[in-house]
Amino acid sequence: MPTSPLEIVRFPDPRLKKVSEPVAEITDEIRALAEEMCQVMYDEPGIGLAAPQVGHALRLFVIDTEWSEEGNDREPQVMINPEFLRREGSLVWEEGCLSVPDYTADVERAAAVTIRAMDLDGKEIIEEAEGLRAVCLQHEYDHLDGILFIDRISRLKRSLYVKKRKKQLAEEAEE
């Protein structure tokens, strides 16, 4: 399968901190972007990818929390202009992010959510989710508001990661 020309935007790129604009119209360009984002998500591999993570400040993300690298059970879901209708309870989940390389941390999230969005046909989606699916929806939604999961951990843990990442980038620049 061909790889996508889209590249993951990685921390500390300032584009990750921008609040995304709503998708005004579902065009062929939006459909193509969503398709490429799915390809990137599977190639990386990940279970979710938001448009800001590939350099597009649009309120759109793709998720697939059920697929595995071994199988062909890919059923990506595209969510355009999502909004939460409900967030309840609390859970802690170890999260990672394609835009935050080489780091995971426990993040507190709502345990159950209800989200409303549009699909690529402009039809309304309303989904209730718990566990991993709820975490993934909240994580990707945060990207649309310029929030990374490391913004939701302690200042000390975040500063240690930032220091590590700056050192990593400096070493890459020397190569």
Do residues 76 and 64 touch, judged by C-beta distance below 8 A?
yes
Q: Quick count: other Cβ atoms within 10 Å of Cβ 139?
A: 24
140 is catalytic: yes
| Residue tagged active-site, from 29, 140, 172, 174 | 140
Give the residue from 79, 74, 68, 67 showing the smallest Cα distance to 20.
Answer: 79
- Quick one: tokens of 107? 């993040």
3-class DSSP assignment, residue 115: strand
Give strand pairing partners of 60. Answer: 80
What are the DSSP E strand ranges found in the chain? 48-50, 60-63, 77-88, 91-97, 100-109, 112-118, 124-130
Give the residue from 43, 49, 54, 45 showing the smallest Cα distance to 6.
Answer: 54
How far is 141 from 61, CA to CA, in rounded Å? Answer: 8
Any idea which residues carry the catalytic annotation? 140
